[in-house]
Structure 1
Amino acid sequence: MRTPETGRGWQRVTIWMVVLAALGLSLLITSEAKSYEPTEASPKTHVYMVVFDQMPVVTYNGKILGLRGTAKYFSERWRKTHKRAHVSDLVKKYNAYLIKEQDKILNEFFGFEGCEKVYRYTHLVNGVALSLTDDEAERLAEHPRVERVQKSYRVYPSTVHTPDYLNLHKGVWSQFGGPVGAGENMIIGIVDTGIDPTHPSFTTRGQKLYGPLRKYRGRCDVAKEFPRGSCNGKIIGARFFNAAIKKGGFNASIHFASPLDGEGHGTHTASIAAGNYGVPVIMNGANFGKASGVAPRSRIAVYKALYRHIGGFIPDVIAACDQAVADGVDILSLSLGPNSPPSGSSTTFLNVLDIALLNAVKANVLVVQAAGNEGPYPKTVTSFSPWVLSVAAGVDDRTFRNTMVLGNRQIIKGTGIAPPTRGGGLYRLILAQDAVQGRGDPLLSPSECQSPKLYNNLLVRGKILICTYTFDFVYGGSTMQQLVKTAKSLGAAGVTVVVDSDSSGQKFEPVPLAIPVIVLPTSADSNILLSYYNRFTKKDRKGKILTFGATARIGNGQTITYTRSAQRVALFSSRGPNVKDFNFNEADILKPNIMAPGYMIWGAWTPIGTSQAAFAGQRFAMISGTSMATPHVAGLAALLKWKYPTWSPSALVSAMTTTADVADRFGRPLQAQSPSPDGSPLLQTATPFDMGGGALNIHAAMNPGLIFETGYLDYVRFLCSLSTPREVLGATKMSCPRLAGKPTDLNIPSITFANLVKTVYVARTVTNVAAVAEKYTISITNAPDFVVTANPAVFTIGVGRRNKQTIVFTVRATRASQASSFARITFKGSLSHVIRVPVSVVNKRLR
């Protein structure tokens, strides 16, 4: 008997959150959406996902009489021997068979009353999403042809300089004939909040013609707010999925029953991955440079499954992914993830979404997912499975420095993307509390400058207003935009913002502002200014201001400084170790896998976007999160896929993660931000649990030399090593071998042990993808409490049939410890190829 998975486990209900830091054919319909409103007399229903016993399209092996297999159309071997993948009549026939069988099972269960189908899934998952009462879900789970019944999860939403910072202009793009050819005919599927089709980052005006692509089988959902022509070739297709979210407060007037982005997040991520080259970024009259996506000639396929204010539900996300793979995307970008490990199965790797993504990889689609924004604490990474490329966020070399010169010629350093005070003269300073008129307003803090009615505008006019940044700004109760409105209304010459604590100052992120503003984000600098102000401001015995003698001027903060420093792991970026279940037990899989720029990233925005008050009404926004790092990697994956069209998803992952940077240009280890007592980020040496293989190096990834290949059956064996054969069979429709092996047997470019007992042998097989043979020497940087050795330590790898080499690594604990420690294996080739493999061990035991 199977019991339905209601999402309850450990100590709370699992809520899937998309972190900011977020499953199709015109003829072959893989998902259906209907509208349903229960009557008042109807028992309370919830959306459940029901998985049936037969294989979905991408894994069907042809064992049903009269129905030939469809899995071959998505195999690497088939793709290598055919110019393009096409959906044949066999696929349509099997799809129709699955729908018929689904209806047969449901009709047997519901009788003539029928049931409301929210979605059908046939491509990545053979199942449906249904509105069921809890009792119906319990009984349906007992049906012999039902493998799983799982309750819906709630989900929420989780560049200018980065092309230069990643050396795209001088390096990678030149291999494609420049940005005009970078990513040509690659399709990146973006599952997010939709897109603004009117944005210049997606226009075809002035661009080389985007002709039709036979490999793409999707369509464009048209609506009043998303008219015909919105899908212009650059945007090759656009769909929306809202059948599940209709149960949770969908409002067409603000959420839009169309692919239109009413939030901004989806437009932003799409432009980072594949926005047009050289789009001017202008805000508040200032030009901040020209924006470009990583793969500016790639096509964008939009799959809207998240909605502003309420996010979305996991059945919609699965339907979007299912449709994207059926449509023929090359890369699937998911800037989303849960806020805790999903419950309902023995391991995180067997939840319905991750199994759907496994089948996407089976269909030769690389899945790139945000690692999460819950750092810097351990076990916060929210992308779990080894078949998904999980991305951490890095801070690049841009700084937004500004200075304030006081009347005593003292210079205070601060930050702020804003213009200088007019002229070169000094302006008198006035503290916001000293400008309050009358008794103020008990509902408003006068120090935060959120309403002009609190202040005497005659006192403020022409002066620099001193306001205070508190945690009300961090939590959204106060905003920099309202502060600017207050200052403009009062006629202030500018604003200086001091902090009430280092903790609040640490949370400040500069945003472009229209008037002179400088923020002093540390208590030390804030106190210097306040001491100077108090010393030169005369008051009578009752505290009334007699004269304002303190003066200052604000410098130009719109000039960005580039330090040429290496990436640092952002404070908010989620950290490993990875977990394998809802009880947060460590997994033998490394997460995150790689780091890409994700801090204060410029990207396209929609003027009706609501999630970032600082950019309301704007066409561009500069925001942070692993959501922003993810499309950087998706864009690079599209470039790699164009150069190596026969490479599997695991080969693409290997090329990126093994060539990533682990040191800066001076050879010093990369660093990670962590909290410190004074509130400023403390820098520590970054570990694989912070950044995976390291910081994305696009140039090196284009020529890795060696790769680690992992196939679908390898992933199934990995699942068999963790779960029961019955559970794996239900999820993958594949039988486990008699000897399943260990999780560490998986041939991935990392070695991770949750528990290392004495000595363990780990084999890895590398494949030479260079055009000639090469001699490699393996060196190892060991940890203080375990050692790694390699056999062979030196080898020559050939080409053709001699292009593989297996190395056995011996990992031996030398000291008992429960503190995570790390080693690194380096392969150095005679032709200058260098790849690295991180080794991570949590617990070490000698017996």
Structure 2
Amino acid sequence: MAYIKTKVSLKGVLILGKAEIYIVTLEGEPVISYRGGVNGFEATAVESDSDEKIDVTSDLVISYARHLEKRHDMLLDMLFEEGTYKKLYSYRHLINGFAVHTTPEQADMLRQAPGVKSVERDWKVRKLTTHTPQFLGLPTGVWPTGGGFDRAGEDIVIGFVDSGIYPHHPSFASHRSDPYGPVPKYRGKCEVDRETKRDYCNGKIIGAQHFAEAAKTAGAFNPDIDFDSPLDGDGHGSHTAAIAAGNNGIPVRMHGFEFGRASGMAPRARIAVYKALYRIFGGFVADVVAAIDQAVHDGVDILNLSVGPNSPPATTKTTYLNPFDATLLAAVKAGVFVVQAAGNGGPFPKTLLSYSPWIATVAAAVDDRRYKNHFTLGNGKILAGLGLSPATHTNRTFTLVAANDVLLDSSVAKYSPSDCQRPEVLNKNLVQGNILLCGYSFNFVVGTASIKKVSQTAKSLGAAGFVLAVENTSPGTKFDPVPVGIPGILITDVTKSTDLIDYYNMSTPRDWTGRVKSFKAVGSIGEGLRPILHKSAPTVALFSARGPNIKDYSFQDADLLKPDILAPGSLIWAAWAPNGTDEPNYVGKVFIHLT
């Protein structure tokens, strides 16, 4: 939190305080709903009985938007001395208001000022395919009605408020299809990268902007990893854009194996990027509202929000009557179809992050494709697990060696060697040619440990493969199959993991000090690269947020039933950004298989 010293001329009182970001809404209509005159002229954004979008190019509308911004500046200038506050954004098109960095004392003065409707302290938001088109019946149902897969989504502009985009990914390449013509209705711009001096647009991507004033002012923005540009430093934005509008027929190749060919659901649609989410902290509502306001101004047809607030704002008595959801309402009134993810708080009820009654809230479904694998013990028992990996050599078993039993010396125990993240602490002579047995600890769920790193450790030590045994899990723990280049499997069931450990211990003789005399346990890893199709689909994904929404301060019973629809959202193959990510299993990857 940043601190500033402020001096406010109000009855001679000097006010010192801790600066924060506030979103202020004012009386008076925004551009989208204005139906009157100002300064002697008429300004009507949209006819009340019309389905047409807002005409932001109208001279009258432009003049009214400027008039609103002047009102914002005049109010601040009237109340506070110059240098005691910082206005971050003026919101003119969807809501009439602004975001300002100021003290709580000044915020109280704003609340009491004539013409001010609300003053909300800014709050945070968070980030909420090869087979999916076939599962949804698009190739035989929807795509032919839109001209086929090579024309489905033609001239539709989808705006993505997310973590940006990796424009060099083949899912967004323009040279893979017929040339893209201009879209006259779209008025967005393409920012130029400060380092490469190139913009982010190529015909497929037709708009790319980023919004970070609130993040910077709050001291949360790190330009080294967040990228002060539309470039995706996380991967989430590229993933969602590719699922919705990625090119058709893109080969998904990893570790020498092709998992299929990826396609967006509307492969010919255009992509407009409005980056407002960042790697470590997520984002701030003030930036997200600015991004949405700009997207509607620019003329997007669809607004995709895989983002939601961490919680309802502190002072609003009804969850969906706040500046964020009011902005979404105005976007819908402007003719934009708004889609928002329900959230990832499942399987528990009342975990929704999408409150707006006027938009489409989408729950995540599991489709009919599953990736499964198995580990066969020397005693004949078969343990089911997850492992997007090749098999060990057929008709052959390999010796099992536990990481804790192949330490170079006892001093390395401080490094938690059982999670197999550090190859340098393990004895290569004992691991080479064998299957390395590791423990899947809590560090994999909330820490920095990753299956990718286990795979790298096993490979560097010359192991035949690896097996991870879950030590314990909490309700709702989500396990994703991670593609690896060597045989590997995660045993996700605690009971089956216990069977594995019991077998290993009974088969491994030790001396009186507990040191292994010889390794006798053996096993083999199955092949998990090919999917199995199930008939029981779709089903709600375990992690998908549930309703009802009963977080309102004034209601005991549910007053809003959500989500609205269900769509595939679990384990979808799609693009990723190799620049950097908080998902340690996917650092450097171009495609991932993720929720």
**TM category, shorter:** over 0.9
Q: Which residue of 2 aligns with 1:839?
A: none
Aligned with residue 399 of structure 1, among 340, 345, 370: 370
Q: Say whether the 8 Å CA contact 1:448–1:468 is kept in structure 2.
A: yes
Please say if 1:154 is aligned against 2:124.
yes
Q: Say whether the 8 Å CA contact 1:58–1:124 is kept in structure 2.
A: yes
TM-score normalised by the chain length of structure 2: 0.92
Q: Which residue of 2 aligns with 1:441?
A: 412
Q: Which residue of 2 aligns with 1:117?
A: 87
Please say if 1:136 is aligned against 2:114.
no
Q: Which residue of 1 aligns with 2:137?
A: 167
1:831-842 alignment, distance < 5 Å: none
Q: Which residue of 2 aligns with 1:235?
A: 205
Partners of 1:551 and 1:505 in 2: CA distance: 32
**1:440: Cα distance to partner?**
4.1
Q: Which residue of 1 aligns with 2:11?
A: none
Aligned with residue 183 of structure 2, among 192, 207, 213: 213
SS of 1:55's partner is coil
Q: Say whether the 8 Å CA contact 1:193–1:266 is kept in structure 2.
A: yes
Q: Which residue of 2 aligns with 1:336?
A: 307
Q: Say whether the 8 Å CA contact 2:262–2:574 is kept in structure 1.
A: yes
1:235-634 alignment, distance < 5 Å: 235-247=205-217, 248-422=219-393, 424-501=395-472, 503=474, 507-579=478-550, 581-582=552-553, 585-624=556-595
1:567-716 alignment, distance < 5 Å: 567-579=538-550, 581-582=552-553, 585-624=556-595
* CA separation of 1:442 and 1:222: change in aligned 2, threshold 3 A: same
**1:90: Cα distance to partner?**
1.7
Residue deviations 1:209-263, cap 9 Å, x none? Answer: 1111111111111123564352112111011111111122323232222111111
**1:576: Cα distance to partner?**
1.1
Q: Say whether the 8 Å CA contact 1:390–1:593 is kept in structure 2.
A: yes
Structure 2 letter corresponding to 1:433: N
Structure 2 letter corresponding to 1:591: K
Partners of 1:225 and 1:579 in 2: CA distance: 48
**1:301: Cα distance to partner?**
0.7
Q: Which residue of 2 aligns with 1:628?
A: none
**Identical aligned residues as a percent:** 48
Q: Say whether the 8 Å CA contact 2:364–2:567 is kept in structure 1.
A: yes
Q: Which residue of 2 aligns with 1:60?
A: 34
**1:475: Cα distance to partner?**
1.6
**1:363: Cα distance to partner?**
0.3
Aligned with residue 180 of structure 1, among 136, 143, 150: 150
Q: Say whether the 8 Å CA contact 2:55–2:61 is kept in structure 1.
A: no
* CA separation of 1:102 and 1:530: change in aligned 2, threshold 3 A: closer
Q: Say whether the 8 Å CA contact 2:193–2:200 is kept in structure 1.
A: no
Q: Which residue of 2 aligns with 1:90?
A: 60
Q: Say whether the 8 Å CA contact 1:343–1:582 is kept in structure 2.
A: no
**1:64: Cα distance to partner?**
4.1
**1:423: Cα distance to partner?**
5.1
* CA separation of 1:405 and 1:378: change in aligned 2, threshold 3 A: closer
Aligned with residue 22 of structure 2, among 45, 48, 73: 48
SS of 1:497's partner is strand
Structure 1 letter corresponding to 2:31: V
**1:504: Cα distance to partner?**
8.4
1:720-735 alignment, distance < 5 Å: none
SS of 1:539's partner is coil
Residue deviations 1:702-731, cap 9 Å, x none? Answer: xxxxxxxxxxxxxxxxxxxxxxxxxxxxxx
SS of 2:134's partner is helix
Q: Which residue of 1 aligns with 2:160?
A: 190
Aligned with residue 50 of structure 2, among 77, 82, 85: 77
Structure 1 letter corresponding to 2:346: G
Partners of 2:283 and 2:174 in 1: CA distance: 31
**1:565: Cα distance to partner?**
2.3
Structure 2 letter corresponding to 1:496: V
Partners of 2:123 and 2:383 in 1: CA distance: 49
Q: Say whether the 8 Å CA contact 1:580–1:586 is kept in structure 2.
A: no
Q: Say whether the 8 Å CA contact 1:344–1:351 is kept in structure 2.
A: no
Q: Say whether the 8 Å CA contact 1:195–1:264 is kept in structure 2.
A: yes
**1:70: Cα distance to partner?**
2.0
My pick for the range that moved more, 612-621 or 562-571, is 562-571
SS of 1:483's partner is helix
Structure 2 letter corresponding to 1:302: V
Q: Which residue of 1 aligns with 2:13?
A: none
Structure 2 letter corresponding to 1:58: I
* CA separation of 1:127 and 1:554: change in aligned 2, threshold 3 A: same
TM-score normalised by the chain length of structure 1: 0.66
Q: Let me know the Cα RMSD of the aligned residues.
A: 2.5
Partners of 1:576 and 1:584 in 2: CA distance: 15
Partners of 1:525 and 1:157 in 2: CA distance: 33
Q: Say whether the 8 Å CA contact 1:342–1:581 is kept in structure 2.
A: no
Q: Say whether the 8 Å CA contact 2:45–2:61 is kept in structure 1.
A: no
* CA separation of 1:337 and 1:502: change in aligned 2, threshold 3 A: closer
Partners of 1:125 and 1:72 in 2: CA distance: 15
Structure 1 letter corresponding to 2:35: N
Partners of 1:413 and 1:216 in 2: CA distance: 51
Partners of 1:448 and 1:38 in 2: CA distance: 45
Structure 1 letter corresponding to 2:252: V
Residue deviations 1:122-164, cap 9 Å, x none? Answer: 1001112122222211112211122222211123333222111
Q: Say whether the 8 Å CA contact 1:107–1:114 is kept in structure 2.
A: no
**1:409: Cα distance to partner?**
4.2
Q: Say whether the 8 Å CA contact 1:191–1:304 is kept in structure 2.
A: yes
Q: Say whether the 8 Å CA contact 2:319–2:355 is kept in structure 1.
A: yes
Structure 2 letter corresponding to 1:508: F
Structure 2 letter corresponding to 1:213: V
* CA separation of 1:483 and 1:504: change in aligned 2, threshold 3 A: farther
Partners of 1:258 and 1:213 in 2: CA distance: 23
SS of 2:138's partner is coil
Partners of 1:567 and 1:281 in 2: CA distance: 23
Structure 2 letter corresponding to 1:356: T
Structure 1 gaps of 5+ residues are 1-35, 625-847
**1:474: Cα distance to partner?**
1.4
Structure 2 gaps of 5+ residues are 8-15
Q: Say whether the 8 Å CA contact 1:225–1:258 is kept in structure 2.
A: no
Residue deviations 1:400-455, cap 9 Å, x none? Answer: 11123334444333221011113542211222222223214242333322222332
| Greater than 4 Å deviation, 4+ residue runs | 36-43, 111-115, 502-506
Q: Say whether the 8 Å CA contact 2:46–2:55 is kept in structure 1.
A: no
Q: Say whether the 8 Å CA contact 1:262–1:606 is kept in structure 2.
A: yes
- Length, aligned pairs only: 586
Structure 1 letter corresponding to 2:30: P
Partners of 2:589 and 2:304 in 1: CA distance: 24
**1:101: Cα distance to partner?**
2.6
Partners of 1:148 and 1:120 in 2: CA distance: 15
**1:516: Cα distance to partner?**
0.7
Structure 2 letter corresponding to 1:66: G
Partners of 2:427 and 2:358 in 1: CA distance: 61
